Amino acid sequence: MPSQPPAHETGKVWFITGTSTGLGRALAREVIAVGDRLVATARDTTTLSDLVALAPERVHAVPLDVTEPAAVRDAVAIALKEFGRIDVLVNNAGYALRGAVEELSDADLRRQFDTNVFGALDVTRAVLPTMREQRSGCIVQMSSVGGVMATLGGTAYAGTKFALEGLSEGLAAEVAHLGIHVVIVEPGPFRTDFSGRSVRFADPIEDYRPALDPAKKQFLAMHGTQPGDPARAARAIITATQMDKPPLRLPLGANAIDRIRERLQLRLKEVDTIEQLGRPTDFTATTGDGAGREADES
């Protein structure tokens, strides 16, 4: 009988950004538990020592700040040198910036988009050549309910997640024929540091306080009492990546399911309400072709 390869040479290879805390860490632990191999990244790899200790032959900690393109390329190169392939990429690194648009500085906004959008894009583009060569792979984009609807105080964060969702939906169509899948994960409130150390606030402007202060108070009060269980979320993500046809979108938690359904139903109702204003704006047989008239006039 042929000998079986060592355990550290079997199982899928996961590359997860932002594994120091939150859903990234919960997912890393579950990946290790199912016996897969893991490249865990964080800006400070000392925060990952406990993950490595769980399975030293299957877990490799790599320093990575996703806003530094050279660091992204280096981290992917280290992953390929260590394990030879990447089967699942999880773009999890990110943070929340809260405040009214007028309260946010240029630096605030650019840093938010550099991390949540361009960081995810840079890692994705660095991994895609390997997945194309493999003709297989799954890219998990950690979005949010905020990628479906914006909330008071979370406008910039929602902007990054809306952008990530559009980019990921387009990417999914581009790579489907190559055997590569994309899963956009849309968590509701989970019991992580998202509303604690992972959030940054803009300096307030007094005129916005009546609208934003209650939302800020509610957001902070949720910390430590969120209904979502990170371990269960991690298991759901792993299950989705194992499907023959993974879902394009994966809402997580009852809160996310309910709010997203309500928002989509509202959007349909809005389309029905405004249809008679928007539909008649096409060219018709009686008005002729505007482009043709412009050509005649020139």
- φ, ψ of residue 227 to 5 degrees: the values are -75, -20
The yes-or-no answer on residue 157 being catalytic is yes
CB 42 within 8 A of CB 13: no
Tell me the C-alpha distance between 262 and 187, whole Å.
15
Please name the residues in contact with 30: beta carbons below 8 A apart, sequence gap of 6 or more: 231, 234, 235, 238
d(CA 197, CA 96): 10
Q: Which of 12, 20, 95, 143 is catalytic?
A: 143
161 catalytic per annotation:
yes
Marked catalytic residue, from 95, 144, 157, 195: 157
Catalytic residue among 20, 95, 144, 161: 161
Q: 217 catalytic, yes or no? A: no
CB 147 within 8 A of CB 158: yes
What are the backbone angles phi and psi of residue 142, rounded to the nearest 5°? -85, 100
Any idea which residues carry the catalytic annotation? 143, 157, 161
